[in-house]
Amino acid sequence: MLTVRLKYLLMREGTRRRSALVLLVVVCSVVVARPSLCAQGTKASEWPAYGNDLGGMRYSPLAQINRKNVAKLKVAWIFHTGDISEGQNGRKRSGFEATPILVDGTLYLTTPFNRVIALDPETGKQRWAYDPKIDLDGDYGDGLVNRGVATWLDLTRGKGQSCRRRIFESTQDARLVAIDAMTGAPCVDFGQAGQVSLRDVKQYDPGWYHITSPPVIMDDLVIVGSAIDDNHRVDMARGVVRAYDTRTGALRWSWDPLPPNPATALAQGKSAGWRSGAGNAWSIMAVDVQRDLLFVPTGSASPDYYGGLRPGDDKWANSIVALRGKTGEFVWGFQLVHHDLWDFDSAAPPLLATLHFAGKEIPVVIQGNKSGMLYVLNRDTGEPVWPVEERAMPRSDVPGESSSTTQPIPTKPPPMARQTMSAADAWGPTSDDREACRNLIKQLRNEGIFTPPSLQGTLMVPGNLGGMTWSGYAFDPQRKLLVTNTNNLVAQAKIIPRAKYEAPGSHSADGDYGDQTGTPYGLYRRFLQSPSDLPCAPPPWGTLTAVDMTEGVIRWQVPLGSMQNFGGPHPQQIPPGSISLGGPIITAGGVVFIAGTTDSSIRGFDVDTGKELWQAPLPASGNATPMTYLVEQNGKQYLVIAAGGHPKITEESLGDTLVAFTLQD
């Protein structure tokens, strides 16, 4: 689960249409995860799923906006949702993190309040809105956020029939709703009057169990994961993945990543004391319809930073898992982190692609996580394409804890983020800042990545903001380039004995505290910042990286954004590179588009070189992934981004703005 506290972390019509048809043929033959979309007549001009194709490439075949003309992009229209919460009177702050989809000539998006809105893609004018009326005062760990919807076309219904196309949303208060795409009215034949309750899981807690990511569609199934708050207690809700019938809402199957008393605990004779929860899939899942495979990225088991009551590897938390789509049957799993003690979720969505190795075309699933490492696995077997080595790691010195002796380290590609840091590396805009950071680091246990949390406090490199988080990555199927944004921050994690943790005045230091109820310890953590409020880690604190996925090497890496005015203007010149939350897309025009930085901008980069080609200001930080589409009526390509700030970055202003760009006439 993402936890950030940044205050403490701180051509003309005919030609264009013919081109789109040619590109559609190319995409349907190249993008192996897209067959179901192509079969339903998806156009290359659309963006029908969160990652465009169901395999999550975030690649568009549109090329009207390209490297030569991208600098001429201007605002075409702006839409205000009206849904903002500043976090007053106990209500959580909001964040506008949605990536809209475009199908059948309509743009669909969600707001932080879980309202679903349909817009005219050419003008931004609202066509309808649906309000599920969630409890806005719930204790939602990530704040009031939602990242989008999914859609399904019922080919058994004729054109004009209600709910022929359905829009699905999973809500913060744990409901799955189905809406008629034409009218915004509930599909009354789905569940109870258009909705299904997702609250029937063991250890369900209102607010602590919620959903922020869109569901995925696989044939006639709508599949959902869950977001579960970190560090409250040992026995949090079960992180069950569930599939429902798209027509009726009937439960078809479910899969639990952490079955009670797993075999590892039984083998160690500790089953009676084995307690945990979560291991949930809170990010986006990927689908391969041809193989009938669903790819599920899972997060950490509860609680994050103490695992004494969940001995063993905790499979299948912190993993990428392949399930049989029709039945939910486990096919294979690959664990990226054994016995996680660092909140190193598989937060980035899996990405499906085809790569050329040893004279063969190999279908792969690419999965990164907060550690900054990228794993490339055979899609059919789960076997690594490049060797993954189990390397010895530092052991925990916390009584009752038994950390994993090894962790799986890929030999290729190299890490996308810093994984070691010494006191000598400490950075600050002034000598006093640097000295303060050095003193902080010297006090901490520090043996590189996977140094376990400790009673004295441990330096986490990277911190729990990544590396790669839910922002994910994009893939160019022609160049075989993967582009990802990563964060380079360090944090500390300290385990506090229960009596000391619960003593009066024990929570006086700036940072985050986690009760971890049911364990002998509480938790304290924070990102390391100097008195200037800027990170102690050396810049850049955020980068954009292109990886050659055939060779497994980095082709280019550039700083992304700026923190010059973070927390207020700084008199010194601050090096480039901002933390970012919100991922990239790539277009056939050779441009990578990304927002997400704290300087409230959206940018376009040359996919071959990493050169910044275009930048435009946003009314608030665009902590979302953009999308692009072509309006056939006017022949124009549009680029759209949600700009609303982040609920946990209190230095940033919030917003409710969806901004669309297009080329000047």
- Helix (H/G/I), strand (E/B), else coil: 338: coil
* Residue that the structure tokens 């970012």 belong to: 580
For 49, the token pair is: 């799923």
* Residue that the structure tokens 């209600």 belong to: 162
Please state, in angstroms and rounded to a whole number, the distance separating the CA atoms of residues 182 and 105.
11
* Residue that the structure tokens 């996977």 belong to: 450
Total Cβ atoms within 10 A of residue 87: 15
3-state secondary structure 579-637: CECCCCEEECCCEEEECCECCCEEEEEECCCCCEEEEEECCCCCCCCCEEEEECCCCEE
Please state, in angstroms and rounded to a whole number, the distance separating the CA atoms of residues 215 and 192.
18
Please state, in angstroms and rounded to a whole number, the distance separating the CA atoms of residues 409 and 233.
30
| Angstrom distances, CA of residue 111 to CA of 96, 115, 499 | 6, 5, 42
One-letter identity of residue 603: R
Please state, in angstroms and rounded to a whole number, the distance separating the CA atoms of residues 558 and 544.
5
Total Cβ atoms within 10 A of residue 563: 25
Active site residue 343: yes
Please state, in angstroms and rounded to a whole number, the distance separating the CA atoms of residues 383 and 375.
10
* Residue that the structure tokens 């692009």 belong to: 628
Please state, in angstroms and rounded to a whole number, the distance separating the CA atoms of residues 637 and 585.
14
Nearest to 399 by CA among 270, 520, 267, 233: 520
Cβ atoms of residues 331 and 315 within 8 Å: no
For 637, the token pair is: 């390509």
Please state, in angstroms and rounded to a whole number, the distance separating the CA atoms of residues 645 and 656.
9
Please state, in angstroms and rounded to a whole number, the distance separating the CA atoms of residues 26 and 318.
35
Cβ atoms of residues 584 and 484 within 8 Å: yes
Catalytic entry in 343, 512, 533, 599 = 343
* H or E element that contains 475: strand 473-476
For 83, the token pair is: 């849904």
Kindly list the strands in the beta sheet with 473-476, ordered across the sheet, starting from the edge strand earlier in the chain: 473-476, 481-487, 542-548, 553-559
Q: What is the DSSP letter of 432?
A: H
Cβ atoms of residues 491 and 73 within 8 Å: no
DSSP assignment of 492-516, as one string?
A: EEEEEEHHHHTSTTTT-SSSEEE--
DSSP assignment of 185-214, as one string?
A: -B-TTTBBTTEEE---STT--BTTEE--SP
* H or E element that contains 102: strand 101-103
Q: What is the DSSP letter of 53?
A: S
Catalytically annotated residues: 343
